[in-house]
């Protein structure tokens, strides 16, 4: 039992090639009013979900720019959703400054994901189904850019 508790509370561990800080994620869950016991179960759920992500993901991001040419194609951003419909229909917040709203569709390798931030964001903002990428999204393949009408 003692070893199990040490394992559960160990601060950092590797999740395959991804490093996460378990203590920080348990704190996020407790901020969301989980008891420590329930937080441990919920964290295991999130870890299992993260491990189940495919090696290649199609992701979506909404941004505001003055025109399509202002989109940074090399570093299109860090915050994405796996749920296009939810993002477009229910997520009023978009990143950027400008008059035109665009939906980026990208393909990203799982190795580009910031595991800690992704799990934390899914704990703190469960309806967003967010995937957070390292290096502002450098390395994604932009497959589509659609102008969205308000």
User: In the chain, what is the straight-line distance between the N-terminal and C-terminal CA atoms, in Å?
Assistant: 55
Closest among 95, 92, 88, 89 to 146, alpha carbons compared: 88
pLDDT for 128 equals 85
pLDDT in tens, 68-106: 999 999 999 999 999 999 888 877 666 778 889 999 999
- Number of other residues whose CB lies within 10 A of the CB of residue 41: 11
Query: What's the pTM value of the predicted model, to 2 decimals?
Result: 0.85
pLDDT in tens, 26-71: 999 999 999 999 999 999 999 999 999 999 999 999 999 999 999 9
Residue of 44, 62, 61, 57 whose CA lies nearest to 111: 57
* Residues 149 and 86 sit within 8 Å (Cβ to Cβ): no
């Amino acid at each position: 039992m003692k070893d199990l508790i040490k394992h559960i509370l160990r601060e950092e561990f590797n999740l395959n090639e991804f490093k996460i800080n378990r203590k920080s994620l348990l704190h996020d869950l407790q901020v969301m009013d989980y008891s420590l016991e329930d937080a441990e179960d919920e964290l295991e759920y999130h870890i299992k979900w993260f491990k189940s992500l495919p090696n290649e993901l199609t992701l979506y991001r909404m941004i505001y720019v003055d025109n399509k040419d202002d989109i940074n194609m090399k570093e299109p951003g860090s915050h994405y959703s796996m749920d296009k419909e939810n993002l477009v229909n229910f997520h009023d917040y978009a990143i950027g400054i400008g008059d035109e709203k665009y939906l980026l569709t990208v393909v990203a390798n799982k190795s580009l994901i910031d595991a800690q931030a992704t799990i934390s964001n899914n704990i703190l903002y469960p309806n967003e189904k967010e995937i957070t990428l390292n290096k502002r999204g450098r390395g994604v393949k932009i497959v589509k850019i659609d102008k969205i009408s308000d």
